[in-house]
Amino acid sequence: MGVIRKITKQEKNAKITVKHPTLKQATHNDIKTTIYIKSSTPFVSGIKRINKFLNDLHKRKKDPQFQCIVLLGMGKATEKTMALGSYFAEEKGKRLEIRTKSVDVIDEYIAEGDDNNSVVDDRDKETSLKKRSLSGIEIKIYP
């Protein structure tokens, strides 16, 4: 099942019931140095949060991996992530490291053959999973 199948037209039109988030396997130190930017994150709140994380960096392990703040944003939030990064580069003179990324997410579709019964609620229908790739950006801000 690991092979990616070709998407049929029927599957393309299938109804998504659940959009799952990205896979996260963060350690304690990761959590305290990583910020996920949403498209709804206010810009100034983002700045305040990054500043707070930068101030707390000295508490982290003395591993070079954890001596910077990682901003992650994908899809619609990519632009906002870049804007936050460039604020810290231009206004605060921080060193940045920018990387583009490709992120996989899972969608749950209503399984074939189960979408005819319109009486049943969508959440009571059986679902099948499908992978979707998104592009995102990772910005490391060094103190």
Partner 1 sequence: MAVQQSANKGGKKQYNKNQIQKRQRIYNARSIRAEAIIASSSNKDKSTNDLSESGSMLNVDKFINSRQFEIKELQLAMHRSKVSGSTRVFQALPRRLRRRTASHNIKRIPKRMRNRALREMMKNDQERTGANSTKPRHGLTSKALYKAKMSIKLLRLASKSKSMKLALPNEVSASKNRVRQKIRTLQRLIKDGKRHKKNISKLNNVMGSYDNVGVNTLAKIPRGRPKYVKRQLKFTWLPTHVWNAKRSHMIKRWGYQIPWSATQKCFKMTHRIGSNVATSDGTLCMDTSYLGTIIINAKEGEAEQLKETISKLTNSRGVNSKYYKSKKLFQGLIHSPVDGNILGPGEVIWVDEVSVLLRLHPTVFGNVFSHLLTLTNSLKIQDARFSISSITLTGAESLTALTSVLRSTSKSESFEQLKLVSNVTDCNVLPQNLNFGFTAIDPRHFGSPKKIKHGKDQLNIDEVMKLQTNEPKTEIYETLSKLLSQSGRTESYKGQLTMKELNKRRHKMVHADSNVADNGIIPFEKGKDPEIPLYIYKREESNDWVILLPWFWHLPLWYQLNRIPRMYNIGLRQFQQLQYENSKLYFPDDYPFTEAGSIENAVYKRETSRSKWEGKPSGKRVNFSKIKNIHNTKIPSLKGEIGDFFSCDWRFLQVLRNGVSYLSRDGKSLAMINPNRTTQFDQGAKRLIEVVNDLFELSKDLEVENLTIPRSKLPICLSTNSDREPKLVRTKEDICNIPLSVLPVRCKYVERGHMKDNARIYEIPKEHEKYWKEKRNGTFRPDGKLFHDEKTPLVEVYNLIGFISSGAYDLSIGGSCGTGFVDESHFINSKDKYVLVRNVGSNQYRLALLNKLII
Containing 106, the helix (H) or strand (E) segment is: strand 95-110
Q: Does 16 bind partner 1 (CB under 8 A)?
A: no
Q: Does 93 bind partner 1 (CB under 8 A)?
A: no
Minimum CB separation of residue 138 from partner 1 in Å reads: 14
Q: Does 36 bind partner 1 (CB under 8 A)?
A: yes
Beta carbon nearer to partner 1, 35 or 141: 35
Q: What is the DSSP string of 112-139?
A: TTSSS--SS-GGGS-EEEEEEEEEEEEE
Stretch that binds partner 1, among 5-13, 22-30, 77-85, 87-95 (CB under 8 A): 22-30
Q: Do 49 and 87 form a contact (C-beta atoms < 8 A)?
A: no
Q: What residue type is 63 in one-letter code? A: D
Question: Cβ contacts of residue 19 below 8 Å, gap of 6+?
Answer: 105, 107, 108
Q: Is 84 helix (H, G, I), strand (E, B) or coil?
A: helix
Q: Which of 6, 9, 21, 118 binds partner 1 (CB under 8 A)?
A: 21
Q: Which two tokens stand for residue 44?
A: 């100034």
Stretch that binds partner 1, among 61-69, 88-96, 101-109, 135-143 (CB under 8 A): 101-109
Q: Does 108 bind partner 1 (CB under 8 A)?
A: yes
**Interface residues with partner 1 (CB under 8 A)?**
1-2, 18, 20-26, 28, 31-32, 34, 36, 45, 104-106, 108, 114, 120-121, 123-127, 129, 131
